[in-house]
């Protein structure tokens, strides 16, 4: 199938050149008539991750209902890949090509053996057919995945794909994502979906975080109490304690676990998508759930499975029976997971219990261990040897370096990049997963509707621009870097949609980093390709964050009394379309190009569009005097950020909950540049949250104001909380019995010259944790 090449480039301008009736996220209401669909569309390549090389030619290939997928006779692996391609195309473009053996390649998509090996592939689009060629199954699968993306995401009777030639292979071997199911359980349907989303972006390693202090999620036949007891807990907070299970008369337990049959099913599902699962079983720390189930394993007893977040002191002891228990567990783990690596955790191991245990010291003497800091290396060495003897390898968080990681153990660097760099320089294989940049439990923006998360903002661009293979390494040392992964620790992600929002599209940015050559990377071009890719992924059920495209609305007061509206967003791509009459904006609505004045009483509705595709959901703002004097909690600044988190409420029991940005060491907020003219009163909406944090000695540094009432107050100061004049004190008593948000009201002393307002919690104890939800300044009282 000859191709007439006219240009050579890594990327091409990525524009949709045809009518788009609707894309995921902006479909018009009501059912579209089938006749309204375009009879032919031309789709420009919008590939994520970008291929190593893409060369354009002249002409187009027509994909239609008559197109089939041709496979080599007797090639069952190719058949499975062809079937998967057909299903994906049915989901996104409404065409399901039949799988054919034998026959002519003309007009069809041919899967062919030959060409590059491993995960590499060659893809040729000619006017008379498509050829995807690879020696190995993985390469054939990735080539099929690329063709699925080339087909676009629009239903049409005929789809025109430009003639082109792609030569592609991955940059790094380990291209991963970690999902923590210990803090919040996700069922196997979600796990499979997550694996699908990984596979469509050429990620190949699913790191499954199956145990931690808050739960043990994996069925172990020999030790059933690990899941009978260890998989369940009472969530923190008054609301959870009040949620009584009628079957037991006790607070309802929250949790779940995976049976071994379910795990086998997930492992097979992942393998069919060329994803290897790396299980994580934490030791010797993060052991609370296991010790709650089997107290004899612990250095000290635990009691119930805990619901606090943070670092627990709970550790496995050094008894011979404990090592036998852990080996028995590993025996069953190895029978379920056929991959090379097993992750043992090894992070945040507190030595306090060991230090104060006479029995531990006896065992240390018996084992020849001179210091409690030798205990973790003892565990690491033992299980490194155990795994090596069974043809497997140990990987652990970078703390395992501190005792001199042994054997063929690999390092996963999470405390920044230093551990990974040190390991690579020492000749150890490394996977880079540094916090905070690859930790997806950090916020993506400061917008009020951003879900609960750690406070430090990691934007899409931040993740995209980060280079995991450090320039501190020589060429030889860089070869020790297996790859990188993003992590999703789920303390603050109760709901599946929150996991999706936090993971993607930032996970797509990492996918491009670990697949595409560095020379091919360009953030603006990535965003252009990402926009149609998001529509494709929504068609597969993903609910990605729109944070990069969301219009941030800033209001000001014009001299004539109108409201000045300014809009901004994180990325350059996309256009704001808005209305002022409360109508839902469309791609034909007014185009924002500069700040504008709007009449008081208007209702602003604004969304971001790329052509007809809505990139960010509609945001609404009332344009009135109250809006000028209103701040949501994300729009307030924190006085400090010692341990700042946007926390989730503990109520209601089911469904969405509000989030509150607060420094849990110093609950204090600043309202910058308030419009104070005529302000006589203030409403502050607050919530009382459980103080469910294990923060060690930081608890001694919690800073609270001096209360004047038993339940405390929110105190309002002029300019600063440390030296400013007190303007109001709002008693917290009305909110003490509330499971949700309570609005407090107080008159405010005149302060027309205030540069800021500062709000501090005055209370005799840090429990409950009080947080501000919103502040409204009031005029005219």
Asked whether the CA dihedral 260, 262, 265, 270 is positive or negative, the reply is negative
In whole angstroms, give the CA distance from residue 194 to residue 9. 32
Select from 545, 542, 543 the least CA-distant residue to 193: 542
**Cβ within 8 Å of residue 175, ≥6 positions away:** 202, 203, 204, 205, 483, 484, 485, 511, 514, 515
What is the rounded CA–CA span in Å between residue 302 and residue 694?
Answer: 14
Q: What are phi and psi of 338, to 5 degrees?
A: -85, -5
Instruction: Return the bridge partners of 1, or none.
Output: none
Q: Distance between CA 176 and CA 604 in Å, rounded?
A: 41
Distance (Å, rounded) from C-alpha 660 to C-alpha 673? Answer: 21
For the stretch 270-279, what's the b/e string if a residue is b when 16 or more beta carbons lie within 10 angstroms of its beta carbon? Answer: bebbbbbbbb
Between strands 630-632 and 254-255, the pairing is: unpaired
Residue among 333, 229, 336 nearest 289 (CA):
229
Is the separation of the CB atoms in 194 and 497 below 8 Å? no
Q: Are 551 and 607 in contact (CB under 8 A)?
A: yes
User: Within 13 Å and on the Cβ side, how many CA atoms surround 354?
Assistant: 21
Among candidate residues 214, 416, 177, the one with its CA nearest the CA of residue 310: 214
Euclidean distance between CA atoms 628 and 112, whole angstroms: 63
Alpha-carbon gap, residue 197 to 506, rounded angstroms: 12
Distance CA 262, CA 184 (A): 18
Place of tokens 């004049």: 725
CA pseudo-torsion sign 110, 116, 119, 123: negative
Q: Name the residue among 210, 198, 321, 315 with its Cα closest to residue 262.
A: 210
Beta strands 659-663; 637-638: pairing state: unpaired
Distances (CA, A) of 368 to 104, 151, 279, 333: 72, 64, 31, 29
* Residues known to be catalytic: 212, 286, 348
By C-alpha distance, which of 731, 643, 650 is closest to 690?
650
* DSSP H or E segment with residue 418: helix 418-425
Look up tokens 């005029």; give the residue: 779
Structure tokens at 149: 């993306």
């Amino acid at each position: 199938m000859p191709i007439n090449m006219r240009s050579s480039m890594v990327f091409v301008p990525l524009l949709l050149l045809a009518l788009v009736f609707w894309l995921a996220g902006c479909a018009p209401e009501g059912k579209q008539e089938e006749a309204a669909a375009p009879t032919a569309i031309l789709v420009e390549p919008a590939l994520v991750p970008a291929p190593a090389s893409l060369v354009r030619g002249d002409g187009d290939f027509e994909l239609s209902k008559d197109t089939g997928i041709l496979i080599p006779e007797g090639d069952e692996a190719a058949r499975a890949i062809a079937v998967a391609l057909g299903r994906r195309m049915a989901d996104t473009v409404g065409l399901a090509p039949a799988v054919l053996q034998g026959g002519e390649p003309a007009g069809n998509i041919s899967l062919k053996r030959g060409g590059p090996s491993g995960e590499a592939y060659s893809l040729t689009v000619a006017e008379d057919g498509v050829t995807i060629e690879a020696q190995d199954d993985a390469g054939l699968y990735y080539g099929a995945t690329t063709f699925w993306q080339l087909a676009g995401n629009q239903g049409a009777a005929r789809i025109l794909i430009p003639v082109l030639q792609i030569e592609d292979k991955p940059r790094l071997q380990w291209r991963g994502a970690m999902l923590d199911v210990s803090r919040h359980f996700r069922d196997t349907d979600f796990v499979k979906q997550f694996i699908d989303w990984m596979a469509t972006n050429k990620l190949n390693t699913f790191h499954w975080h199956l145990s931690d202090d808050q739960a043990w999620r994996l069925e172990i036949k020999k030790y059933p109490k690990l899941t009978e007891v260890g998989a369940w807990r009472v969530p923190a907070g008054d609301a959870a304690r009040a949620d009584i299970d009628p079957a037991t008369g006790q607070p309802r337990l929250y949790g779940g676990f995976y049976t071994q049959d379910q795990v086998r099913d997930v492992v097979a599902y992942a393998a069919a998508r060329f994803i290897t699962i790396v299980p994580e079983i934490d030791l010797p720390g993060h052991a609370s759930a296991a010790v709650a189930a089997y107290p004899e394993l612990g250095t000290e007893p635990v009691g119930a499975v805990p619901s606090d977040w943070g670092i627990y002191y709970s550790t496995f002891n050094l008894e011979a029976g404990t090592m036998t228990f852990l080996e028995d567990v590993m025996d069953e783990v190895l029978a379920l997971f056929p991959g090379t690596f097993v992750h043992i955790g090894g992070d945040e191991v507190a030595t306090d219990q060991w230090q104060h245990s006479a029995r531990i010291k006896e065992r240390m003497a018996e084992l020849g261990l001179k210091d409690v800091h030798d205990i973790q290396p003892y565990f690491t060495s033992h299980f490194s040897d155990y795994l090596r003897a069974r043809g497997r390898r140990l990987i652990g968080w970078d703390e395992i370096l501190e005792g001199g990681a042994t054997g063929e153990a690999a390092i996963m660097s999470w405390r920044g990049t230093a551990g990974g760099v040190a390991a690579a320089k020492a000749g150890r294989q490394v996977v880079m997963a540094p916090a905070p940049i690859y930790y997806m439990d950090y916020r993506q923006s400061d917008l009020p509707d951003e879900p609960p998360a750690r406070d430090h903002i990691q934007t899409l661009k931040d993740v995209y621009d980060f280079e995991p293979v450090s320039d501190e390494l020589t060429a030889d040392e860089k070869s020790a870097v297996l790859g990188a992964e993003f992590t999703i620790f789920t303390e603050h992600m109760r709901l599946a949609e929150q996991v999706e929002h936090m993971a993607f599209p930032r996970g797509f940015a990492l996918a491009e980093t670990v697949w595409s050559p560095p020379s091919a990377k360009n953030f603006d071009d990535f965003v252009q390709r990402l926009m149609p890719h998001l529509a494709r992924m929504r068609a597969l059920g993903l609910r990605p964050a729109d944070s990069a495209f969301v219009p941030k609305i800033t209001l000001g007061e014009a001299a004539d009394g109108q409201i000045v509206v300014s809009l901004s967003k994180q990325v350059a791509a996309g256009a704001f379309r808005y209305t002022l009459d409360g109508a839902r904006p469309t791609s034909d609505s007014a185009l924002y190009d500069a700040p504008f004045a709007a009449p008081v009483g208007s209702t602003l509705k604004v969304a971001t569009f790329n052509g007809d595709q809505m990139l960010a959901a509609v945001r609404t703002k009332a344009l009135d005097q109250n809006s000028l004097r209103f701040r949501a909690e994300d729009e307030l600044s924190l006085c400090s950020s010692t341990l700042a988190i946007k926390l989730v409420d503990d109520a209601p029991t089911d469904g969405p909950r509000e989030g509150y940005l607060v420094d849990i060491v110093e609950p204090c907020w600043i309202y910058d540049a308030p419009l104070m003219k005529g302000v006589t009163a203030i409403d502050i909406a607050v919530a009382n949250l459980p103080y469910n944090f294990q923060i060690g000695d930081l608890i001694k540094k919690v800073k609270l104001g001096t209360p004047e009432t038993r339940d405390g107050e929110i105190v309002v100061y002029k300019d600063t909380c440390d030296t400013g004049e007190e303007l109001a004190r709002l008693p917290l008593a009305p909110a003490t019995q509330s499971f949700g948000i309570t609005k407090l009201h107080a008159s405010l002393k005149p302060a027309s010259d205030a540069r800021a307002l500062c709000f501090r919690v005055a209370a005799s104890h840090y429990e409950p944790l009080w947080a501000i939800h919103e502040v409204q300044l009031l005029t005219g009282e």
